[in-house]
Amino acid sequence: MAATAPARTDGPLTHRQIVTILVGLMMGMFLAALDQTIVATAIRTIADDLKGLDEQAWATTAYLITSTIVTPLYGKLSDIYGRKKFFSTAITIFIVGSVLCTLSQSMLQLAFYRAIQGLGAGGLFSLALAIIGDIVPPRERAKYQGYFLAVFGTSSVLGPVIGGFFAGQNTLLGIDGWRWVFLVNVPIGIAALLVVSRTLHLRHTRLDHRIDWWGAAMLTVGLVPLLLVAEQGRDWGWGSGRSVLCYGVGLVGVVAFLLVERAMKDEALLPLTLFQERTVAVASGASVLIGMAMFGGLASLPLYLQIVKGASPTKAGLLLLPLTLGIMGGSILSGQIISRTGRYRRFPIIGSALLALALFAFHYVHADTPLWQTMIVMVFFGLGLGFNFQPLTLAVQNAVSPRLIGVATSSATFTRQIGGTLGTAVFLSILFSTVPDKISAAMQRVAPTREFQTALHDPANAQFAKSLQAAQSGGSGAGSAGGVLKDSSFLTNLDARLAKPFLQGFSDSMDLVFLVGSGVMLIGFLVMLLLPHVELRGGSAYSERGKADQADADAAAAHAAPSA
């Protein structure tokens, strides 16, 4: 039941009030969006410097695990206590995690600090989207979409370039260049905190609910072991004792989580009744699959550009601009049409089809494929993402009660992050588990050729020839298929004739990743066909919730009047 609260305006917010609030939201979203793009471009340099290219998934997966787990918690707590304090808390935790990341001395240490960073990141996107759902009516949301496209567009353009610039510097002001990738978050985060404290002023009626701490605990017990085995299964062996233990603990955790959520009913972290709504259920299932395909593709593309095509981190960031343009174009087009027609269903369906086709096309991208062909596919991949981002969140928010906007938005973000975490762990696991065999196979094809042998006996390549000979004797140096997984930086200066089998091996493994991704996205397309159309509301959740709160207060006053 809603507690007594100060009087509030039941009408919709004015354009000026909305824009004032959006300034604070955009600062927080820019922080999270910039971090995703800036790290993706620099991760190869970071992993090479910390001697753990094959462990790079830990840094991404740890971040995604913690942000995924806390996302529904942020949504539930903000529904009860209000959005602002938790949005500010999320920014603060993110800043602390960013500072710790700059101190990393190994990939595992970086992964631990990225996990702390993820505890803050889990609230940045979900709470910003929840507040948008609060204050902007679904039919009018496209009016303000340009602001958010500016944030994502700016971060998508600046992130790779800034990440590449920092990764390309040996040192900057006495600090390793790549460490600035995380350190740059600090001034941006502090600015975001100041802006949020000054602009985000929404009255909130506290809801007296229990907090589902047991649900959060069981969700952690269920997810962590399963994601851990997804990342480490190739090293442990998928049927090893440790893997089986993770399967068992994860299964018990998932079952326990479902039992706790059923017992908690409407107080649950993720109310199961929410998923009885067909729109929420279909959108959530599709979001898991889209998240897998999206993060699998976004993790692999920068590696392809840098390792296979030899692009510098900065150049790789610029080469990803067609992807960014596709996302922005898809978002603008879908937003404007939805605003005019009120119909959103067609866009996720078309977007899912584009994602499946683009990933299948990436499967045919090889080491010698011209970059312009790859960039055309990037545009369609981006369009597919743009057609899904806004419409799916809009569909979920529109399908639930205004008082459940926070939980509904966090559930949409949660399911996408679940897919992203699984996609990153599984697809990078496929990549790095198959690379050694692919490189060995390519070496067997290329090594006997006259071109390779001539380069091998060139005095300028004597050091590599020794390394390759040692690798053939069972060593693990730069010339070995396994050694390149620890540090691929030697490929940058290696004779192109000698680098050919390594580049072909990486490319062949990435082809397999994209093929699996297209299969996942095909299932996502079939699920998306089940998405129903629900007429979009004309009023904002904030004003509708205000009317409901006032009605509750009037009813309570009327009930108390006879006894007065």
Asked if 546 and 8 count as a contact pair (C-beta separation under 8 A), the reply is yes
pLDDT tens-digit readout, 90-114: 999 999 999 999 888 888 888 889 9
CA distance 106 to 192: 30
Q: What is the pLDDT of residue 539?
A: 53
Q: What is the pLDDT of residue 359?
A: 92
pLDDT tens-digit readout, 529-549: 998 877 766 555 545 555 555
User: Exposed (0-12), middle (13-18) or buried (19+): which is 402, by Cβ within 10 Å?
Assistant: buried
pLDDT at 525 over 50: yes
Q: What is the pLDDT of residue 320?
A: 80
pLDDT at 564 over 50: no
Confidence of residue 5 (pLDDT cuts 50, 70, 90): very low
Range with top average pLDDT, 198-207, 366-375, 450-459, 496-505? 366-375
Q: Apex CA 164: angle with CA 163 and CA 165, to 5°? A: 90
Amino acid at 175: I
User: Exposed (0-12), middle (13-18) or buried (19+): which is 462, by Cβ within 10 Å?
Assistant: exposed
Q: What percent of the chain has pLDDT over 90?
A: 12
Q: Which residue has the tokens 């990225």?
A: 114
Q: Which of 147 and 81 is assigned the larger pLDDT?
A: 81
Query: What is the DSSP secondary structure assignment for residue 171, as one 8-state letter?
Result: E
Q: Which of 154 and 19 is assigned the larger pLDDT?
A: 19
Q: Which of 474 and 65 is assigned the larger pLDDT?
A: 65
CB atoms within 10 A of CB 555: 10
Q: What is the pLDDT of residue 155?
A: 73
Confidence of residue 255 (pLDDT cuts 50, 70, 90): very high
Q: What is the CA radius of gyration of the chain?
A: 25
Q: What is the pLDDT of residue 562?
A: 55
Confidence of residue 16 (pLDDT cuts 50, 70, 90): confident
Q: What is the pLDDT of residue 91?
A: 92
Handedness of CA 55, 523, 410, 328 (dihedral sign): positive
Confidence of residue 252 (pLDDT cuts 50, 70, 90): very high
Q: What is the pLDDT of residue 94?
A: 93
Q: Please provide the average confidence, as pLDDT, over all residues in the chain.
A: 78
User: Exposed (0-12), middle (13-18) or buried (19+): which is 117, by Cβ within 10 Å?
Assistant: buried
Q: What is the pLDDT of residue 206?
A: 57
pLDDT tens-digit readout, 379-425: 999 899 888 877 887 788 778 777 677 777 777 777 887 887 778 77
Token pair in block for residue 488? 């691929």
pLDDT at 559 over 60: no
Amino acid at 401: S
Average pLDDT over residues 74-93: 84
Q: Which of 475 and 227 is assigned the larger pLDDT?
A: 227
Q: What is the pLDDT of residue 355?
A: 93
